[in-house]
């Protein structure tokens, strides 16, 4: 009995090596792939072997939609919700990077609650703090979006997704993209 029959879930050893026949391609900081492509069993941040995959939902929408903000922000949001395409991607991630992300989110939630708490106190004392309060919350929201997410889709072109957010070692292990 071979090892593969004993453990059908065992990752092929070739996954530990750089794959030149990889279905994922790389161009600068982007990973280009078709939406159904299965990612290799290597952490997309540090390239360490991993069996863990994190399902993430990423949306893409043409940036031209942003021009609708000149008409009205709510029209932009409504059109965005109708036009955006959402993809389910199983990102391979090692324990270290999964934990690191959880720490970041926890720290953000605690900071957020502390700011909200001190703002609530400040506002009851002085109404002038309301503007500072809103600015602080928006600032924190932007930081959360920038650091809390797994990555984002920069493009969807010719049935191929352009993903940004992978680590350099993982990117370096991928073959170059040739359109
Ligand atoms: Zn990692």
Q: 48 C-alpha to center of ligand 1: Å? A: 6
pLDDT tens, residue by residue, 43-89: 999 999 999 999 999 989 888 888 998 888 889 889 999 999 999 99
Question: How far is Cα 138 from Cα 104, in angstroms, rounded to an integer?
Answer: 18
Question: What is the percent of the chain with per-residue pLDDT over 70, rounded to a whole number?
Answer: 85
The DSSP call for residue 147 is H
Q: What sign has the CA pseudo-torsion 64, 88, 42, 94? A: positive
Ligand 1 geometric centre to CA of 62 (Å): 30
**Alpha carbon 154 to chain centroid, angstroms:** 11
- Residue 162, SS3 per DSSP: strand
Report the separation in Å between the CA atom of 68 and the middle of ligand 1, taken as the mean of its atom positions.
Answer: 39
């Amino acid at each position: 009995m071979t090892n593969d029959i004993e453990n059908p879930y065992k990752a092929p050893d070739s996954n530990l090596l750089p794959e030149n026949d990889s279905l994922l391609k790389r161009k600068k900081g982007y990973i280009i792939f078709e939406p159904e492509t299965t990612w290799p069993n290597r952490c997309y941040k540090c390239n360490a072997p991993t069996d863990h995959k994190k399902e993430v939902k990423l949306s893409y929408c043409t940036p031209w939609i942003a021009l609708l903000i000149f008409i009205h922000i709510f029209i932009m949001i409504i059109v965005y919700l109708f036009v955006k395409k959402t993809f389910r991607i199983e990102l391979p991630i090692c324990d270290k990077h999964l934990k690191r992300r959880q720490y970041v989110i926890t720290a953000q939630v605690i900071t957020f609650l502390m700011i909200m708490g001190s703002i609530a106190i400040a506002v009851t004392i002085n109404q002038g703090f309301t503007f500072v309060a809103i600015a602080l919350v928006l600032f924190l929201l932007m930081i959360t979006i920038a650091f809390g997410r797994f990555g984002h889709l920069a493009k969807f072109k010719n049935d191929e997704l352009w993903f940004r957010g992978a680590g350099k070692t993982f990117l370096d292990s991928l073959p170059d993209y040739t359109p």
